[in-house]
Protein backbone atom coordinates (compact mmCIF):
# COMPACT_ATOMS: atom_id res chain seq x y z
CA UNK A 1 0.00 0.00 0.00
CA UNK A 2 1.32 3.45 -0.90
CA UNK A 3 1.59 6.01 1.86
CA UNK A 4 3.12 9.43 2.26
CA UNK A 5 6.80 9.40 3.16
CA UNK A 6 6.36 11.49 6.33
CA UNK A 7 3.65 9.09 7.55
CA UNK A 8 5.88 6.07 6.96
CA UNK A 9 8.69 7.70 8.94
CA UNK A 10 6.29 8.57 11.77
CA UNK A 11 4.89 5.02 11.86
CA UNK A 12 8.42 3.68 12.07
CA UNK A 13 8.72 5.56 15.35
CA UNK A 14 11.53 7.84 14.28
CA UNK A 15 9.67 11.09 14.99
CA UNK A 16 6.24 12.69 15.01
CA UNK A 17 4.78 13.37 11.59
CA UNK A 18 5.57 17.07 11.87
CA UNK A 19 9.18 16.36 12.82
CA UNK A 20 9.42 13.86 9.94
CA UNK A 21 8.43 16.67 7.56
CA UNK A 22 11.26 18.76 8.99
CA UNK A 23 13.69 15.87 8.43
CA UNK A 24 12.58 15.62 4.79
CA UNK A 25 12.91 19.38 4.26
CA UNK A 26 16.36 19.31 5.85
CA UNK A 27 17.55 16.65 3.38
CA UNK A 28 18.01 13.97 6.05
CA UNK A 29 15.79 11.41 4.35
CA UNK A 30 16.76 9.20 1.40
CA UNK A 31 14.76 6.66 -0.60
CA UNK A 32 16.83 3.96 -2.27
CA UNK A 33 19.93 6.08 -1.79
CA UNK A 34 18.51 9.31 -3.24
CA UNK A 35 17.83 12.25 -0.95
CA UNK A 36 14.18 13.34 -1.05
CA UNK A 37 13.32 16.89 -0.04
CA UNK A 38 9.89 17.40 -1.60
CA UNK A 39 6.87 16.73 0.56
CA UNK A 40 4.12 14.27 -0.16
CA UNK A 41 5.99 11.54 -2.03
CA UNK A 42 3.80 8.42 -1.94
CA UNK A 43 5.45 5.04 -1.84
CA UNK A 44 5.11 1.49 -0.67
CA UNK A 45 7.43 1.25 2.32
CA UNK A 46 7.91 -2.48 1.82
CA UNK A 47 9.43 -1.97 -1.64
CA UNK A 48 11.98 0.72 -0.84
CA UNK A 49 14.94 1.31 1.43
CA UNK A 50 14.18 4.44 3.43
CA UNK A 51 16.89 6.00 5.56
CA UNK A 52 17.02 8.89 8.04
CA UNK A 53 20.53 10.26 8.53
CA UNK A 54 21.78 7.23 6.63
CA UNK A 55 20.13 4.72 9.02
CA UNK A 56 17.38 2.49 7.63
CA UNK A 57 14.07 2.99 9.40
CA UNK A 58 12.81 -0.06 11.24
CA UNK A 59 9.21 -1.01 10.63
CA UNK A 60 9.05 -3.85 13.09
CA UNK A 61 10.00 -2.07 16.33
CA UNK A 62 7.54 -2.68 19.12
CA UNK A 63 5.55 0.42 19.97
CA UNK A 64 6.08 1.58 23.53
CA UNK A 65 4.46 4.34 25.58
CA UNK A 66 6.10 5.78 28.65
CA UNK A 67 5.00 8.30 31.26
CA UNK A 68 7.90 10.12 32.89
CA UNK A 69 7.75 12.46 35.85
CA UNK A 70 10.27 14.98 34.51
CA UNK A 71 12.37 16.81 37.09
CA UNK A 72 13.40 20.44 36.60
CA UNK A 73 16.84 20.89 35.03
CA UNK A 74 16.35 18.34 32.20
CA UNK A 75 15.81 19.31 28.56
CA UNK A 76 13.14 17.51 26.54
CA UNK A 77 15.16 17.57 23.31
CA UNK A 78 17.08 14.45 22.28
CA UNK A 79 20.40 16.30 22.17
CA UNK A 80 21.61 19.58 23.64
CA UNK A 81 24.48 21.67 22.33
CA UNK A 82 24.89 23.16 25.84
CA UNK A 83 25.37 19.70 27.34
CA UNK A 84 22.48 19.95 29.80
CA UNK A 85 20.97 16.71 31.17
CA UNK A 86 18.60 14.97 28.71
CA UNK A 87 15.33 13.34 29.77
CA UNK A 88 16.35 10.20 27.87
CA UNK A 89 19.15 9.70 30.44
CA UNK A 90 16.35 8.94 32.94
CA UNK A 91 15.02 6.03 30.83
CA UNK A 92 17.66 3.56 31.86
CA UNK A 93 16.02 0.30 30.76
CA UNK A 94 14.25 1.56 27.64
CA UNK A 95 15.80 0.01 24.53
CA UNK A 96 13.48 1.55 21.95
CA UNK A 97 14.29 4.90 20.38
CA UNK A 98 11.53 7.01 21.96
CA UNK A 99 10.91 10.72 21.60
CA UNK A 100 8.94 13.14 23.80
CA UNK A 101 5.35 14.01 22.92
CA UNK A 102 5.47 17.80 23.05
CA UNK A 103 7.84 19.64 25.31
CA UNK A 104 8.26 20.84 28.84
CA UNK A 105 10.51 23.78 29.68
CA UNK A 106 13.82 23.17 31.40
CA UNK A 107 12.31 24.40 34.68
CA UNK A 108 8.94 22.64 34.35
CA UNK A 109 8.30 19.35 36.11
CA UNK A 110 5.76 16.62 35.67
CA UNK A 111 4.02 14.40 33.17
CA UNK A 112 5.81 13.80 29.90
CA UNK A 113 4.82 11.00 27.53
CA UNK A 114 7.55 9.44 25.41
CA UNK A 115 6.89 6.99 22.61
CA UNK A 116 8.14 5.63 19.30
CA UNK A 117 4.60 5.82 17.87
CA UNK A 118 4.59 8.91 15.65
CA UNK A 119 0.88 8.62 14.87
CA UNK A 120 -0.16 8.65 18.51
CA UNK A 121 2.25 11.51 19.22
CA UNK A 122 0.63 13.50 16.44
CA UNK A 123 -2.85 12.91 17.87
CA UNK A 124 -1.75 14.14 21.28
CA UNK A 125 0.14 17.22 20.10
CA UNK A 126 -2.07 18.52 17.32
CA UNK A 127 -4.50 21.16 18.65
CA UNK A 128 -7.25 19.83 16.38
CA UNK A 129 -7.57 16.73 18.63
CA UNK A 130 -7.97 18.96 21.68
CA UNK A 131 -6.24 16.73 24.22
CA UNK A 132 -6.37 18.66 27.46
CA UNK A 133 -3.20 19.16 29.46
CA UNK A 134 -3.53 20.01 33.13
CA UNK A 135 -0.90 22.06 34.96
CA UNK A 136 -0.49 23.30 38.50
CA UNK A 137 1.19 26.70 38.46
CA UNK A 138 2.46 28.25 41.65
CA UNK A 139 2.31 31.96 40.96
CA UNK A 140 3.36 35.13 42.69
CA UNK A 141 0.55 36.93 44.49
CA UNK A 142 -3.17 36.20 44.54
CA UNK A 143 -4.87 36.62 41.17
CA UNK A 144 -8.44 37.84 41.59
CA UNK A 145 -11.57 36.42 39.94
CA UNK A 146 -11.45 38.95 37.12
CA UNK A 147 -7.84 38.09 36.24
CA UNK A 148 -8.58 34.36 36.28
CA UNK A 149 -11.61 34.93 34.05
CA UNK A 150 -9.30 36.58 31.50
CA UNK A 151 -7.32 33.33 31.35
CA UNK A 152 -10.52 31.32 31.03
CA UNK A 153 -11.86 33.43 28.21
CA UNK A 154 -8.58 33.58 26.30
CA UNK A 155 -5.99 36.34 26.26
CA UNK A 156 -3.85 37.86 23.57
CA UNK A 157 -0.34 36.41 23.49
CA UNK A 158 1.94 37.67 20.76
CA UNK A 159 -0.99 38.62 18.55
CA UNK A 160 -2.98 35.38 19.02
CA UNK A 161 -5.82 34.78 21.41
CA UNK A 162 -5.42 31.66 23.53
CA UNK A 163 -8.22 29.09 23.49
CA UNK A 164 -10.52 29.07 26.51
CA UNK A 165 -8.91 27.52 29.56
CA UNK A 166 -10.32 26.03 32.72
CA UNK A 167 -8.85 27.58 35.85
CA UNK A 168 -9.22 26.72 39.55
CA UNK A 169 -7.47 28.02 42.66
CA UNK A 170 -6.01 25.04 44.55
CA UNK A 171 -4.59 26.95 47.53
CA UNK A 172 -3.25 30.31 48.60
CA UNK A 173 -0.44 30.67 51.09
CA UNK A 174 1.08 34.01 52.00
CA UNK A 175 1.97 35.79 48.79
CA UNK A 176 1.74 32.77 46.47
CA UNK A 177 -1.16 30.87 44.90
CA UNK A 178 -1.33 27.38 43.42
CA UNK A 179 -3.62 27.42 40.41
CA UNK A 180 -4.75 24.50 38.28
CA UNK A 181 -5.08 25.38 34.61
CA UNK A 182 -6.31 23.12 31.79
CA UNK A 183 -5.45 23.97 28.18
CA UNK A 184 -5.14 21.98 24.97
CA UNK A 185 -2.65 24.17 23.13
CA UNK A 186 1.09 23.67 23.47
CA UNK A 187 2.70 26.94 22.48
CA UNK A 188 6.17 27.53 23.83
CA UNK A 189 6.07 28.62 27.48
CA UNK A 190 2.34 29.15 27.12
CA UNK A 191 1.29 28.77 30.75
CA UNK A 192 4.13 30.97 31.96
CA UNK A 193 3.23 33.63 29.39
CA UNK A 194 -0.48 33.48 30.27
CA UNK A 195 0.15 34.14 33.97
CA UNK A 196 2.78 36.79 33.20
CA UNK A 197 0.16 38.53 31.06
CA UNK A 198 -2.17 38.91 34.06
CA UNK A 199 0.70 40.16 36.25
CA UNK A 200 1.26 36.97 38.29
CA UNK A 201 4.51 35.33 37.15
CA UNK A 202 4.92 31.57 37.55
CA UNK A 203 7.35 30.49 40.28
CA UNK A 204 6.93 26.73 39.80
CA UNK A 205 5.15 24.72 37.11
CA UNK A 206 4.11 21.09 36.99
CA UNK A 207 2.06 19.20 34.39
CA UNK A 208 -0.15 16.71 36.18
CA UNK A 209 -2.27 15.16 33.40
CA UNK A 210 -2.77 14.50 29.70
CA UNK A 211 -6.55 14.17 29.26
CA UNK A 212 -7.61 11.97 32.15
CA UNK A 213 -4.24 10.24 32.40
CA UNK A 214 -2.79 11.57 35.62
CA UNK A 215 0.76 11.57 36.91
CA UNK A 216 -0.49 10.21 40.26
CA UNK A 217 2.14 9.10 42.75
CA UNK A 218 4.91 8.47 40.19
CA UNK A 219 8.08 9.79 41.91
CA UNK A 220 10.03 12.64 40.34
CA UNK A 221 12.58 11.26 37.85
CA UNK A 222 10.75 7.90 37.56
CA UNK A 223 8.78 6.47 34.66
CA UNK A 224 6.28 3.74 33.94
CA UNK A 225 5.02 1.98 30.82
CA UNK A 226 1.50 2.86 29.74
CA UNK A 227 -1.03 0.16 28.87
CA UNK A 228 -4.02 0.29 26.53
CA UNK A 229 -6.32 1.57 29.27
CA UNK A 230 -3.88 4.40 30.07
CA UNK A 231 -3.83 5.36 26.39
CA UNK A 232 -7.62 5.61 26.23
CA UNK A 233 -7.48 7.87 29.31
CA UNK A 234 -5.41 10.39 27.35
CA UNK A 235 -8.26 10.92 24.93
CA UNK A 236 -11.04 10.73 27.51
CA UNK A 237 -12.65 14.00 28.53
CA UNK A 238 -11.86 15.65 25.21
CA UNK A 239 -13.66 18.94 24.64
CA UNK A 240 -14.44 19.04 28.34
CA UNK A 241 -13.46 22.70 28.31
CA UNK A 242 -16.36 23.52 26.06
CA UNK A 243 -19.05 21.19 27.36
CA UNK A 244 -18.97 22.12 31.00
N1 LIG B 1 3.59 25.90 29.49
C2 LIG B 1 4.75 26.43 29.93
O3 LIG B 1 4.85 27.63 30.13
N4 LIG B 1 5.79 25.60 30.11
C5 LIG B 1 5.74 24.27 29.90
O6 LIG B 1 6.73 23.57 30.10
C7 LIG B 1 4.52 23.73 29.45
C8 LIG B 1 3.47 24.58 29.26
Is residue 220 included in any domain, yes or no?
A: yes
95-132: per-residue pLDDT in tens? 888 999 988 999 999 999 999 888 889 889 887 788 99
Residues 141 and 108 in one domain: no
2-47: per-residue pLDDT in tens? 789 999 898 888 888 899 999 999 999 999 889 999 888 998 776 7
Tell the residue nearest (CA) to atom 7 of ligand 1: 104
Residues 138 and 197 in one domain: yes
- Residue whose CB lies within 8 A of the most ligand 1 atoms, among 102, 103, 204, for a mutation test: 103
Confidence of residue 244 (pLDDT cuts 50, 70, 90): very low
Residues 120 and 154 in one domain: no
User: pTM for the whole thing?
Assistant: 0.76
Find the domain containing 25 and state its range: 3-56
* pLDDT value for 193: 97
The CATH number linked to 24 is 3.10.290.10
Is pLDDT above 50 for 176? yes
Residues 120 and 222 in one domain: yes
The number of angstroms, rounded, from the C-alpha of 50 to the middle of its chain's C-alpha atoms is 26
Burial class of residue 228 in the structure, from the number of CB atoms within 10 Å of its CB (0-12 exposed, 13-18 middle, 19+ buried): exposed
Query: Measured in angstroms, how far is the CA atom of residue 99 from the centroid of ligand 1?
Result: 18
Tell the residue nearest (CA) to atom 6 of ligand 1: 104
Q: How many domains, the chain?
A: 3
Q: If phi over 0 gives left and psi between -120 and 50 gives alpha, with beta otherwise, what is residue 8?
A: alpha
> Domain boundary at 18, 37, 56, which?
56
Residues 184 and 76 in one domain: no
> What is the number of the ligand 1 atom nearest to the C-alpha of 186?
8
132-165: per-residue pLDDT in tens? 999 999 999 999 999 999 999 999 999 999 999 9
Query: Measured in angstroms, how far is the CA atom of residue 61 from the centroid of ligand 1?
Result: 31
Query: Measured in angstroms, how far is the CA atom of residue 109 from the centroid of ligand 1?
Result: 9
Is pLDDT above 90 for 180? yes
Alpha-carbon span 56 to 69, nearest angstrom:
31
Residue-level length of the chain: 244
pLDDT mean across residues, the chain: 90
Residues 138 and 114 in one domain: no
Is residue 244 included in any domain, yes or no?
A: no
Is residue 20 included in any domain, yes or no?
A: yes
Is residue 241 included in any domain, yes or no?
A: no
Residues 73 and 39 in one domain: no
Residues 228 and 109 in one domain: yes
Active site residues: 105
> What is the number of the ligand 1 atom nearest to the C-alpha of 193?
3
What are the backbone angles phi and psi of residue 171, rounded to the nearest 5°? -165, 160
Query: Measured in angstroms, how far is the CA atom of residue 22 from the centroid of ligand 1?
Result: 23
Residues sharing a CB contact under 8 Å with residue 149, sequence separation 6 or more, in sequence order: none
The number of angstroms, rounded, from the C-alpha of 106 to the middle of its chain's C-alpha atoms is 14
Within 6 Å (CB) of ligand 1, which residues are found? 104-105, 108, 189-192, 205
The CATH number linked to 92 is 3.30.70.580
Task: Quote the longest CA-to-CA distance of the chain.
Answer: 65
Residues 217 and 112 in one domain: yes
Tell the residue nearest (CA) to atom 5 of ligand 1: 104
* Edge-to-edge strand list for the sheet holding 34-35: 34-35, 29-31, 50-52, 55-56
Is residue 240 included in any domain, yes or no?
A: no
Amino acid sequence: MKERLQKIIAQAGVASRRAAEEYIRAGRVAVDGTTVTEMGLQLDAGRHRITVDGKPIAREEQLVYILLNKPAGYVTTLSDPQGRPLITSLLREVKERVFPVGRLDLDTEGALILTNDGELANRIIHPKYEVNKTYVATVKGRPDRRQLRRLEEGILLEGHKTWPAKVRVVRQEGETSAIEIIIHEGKKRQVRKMFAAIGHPVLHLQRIAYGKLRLGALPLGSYRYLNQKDLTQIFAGKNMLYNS
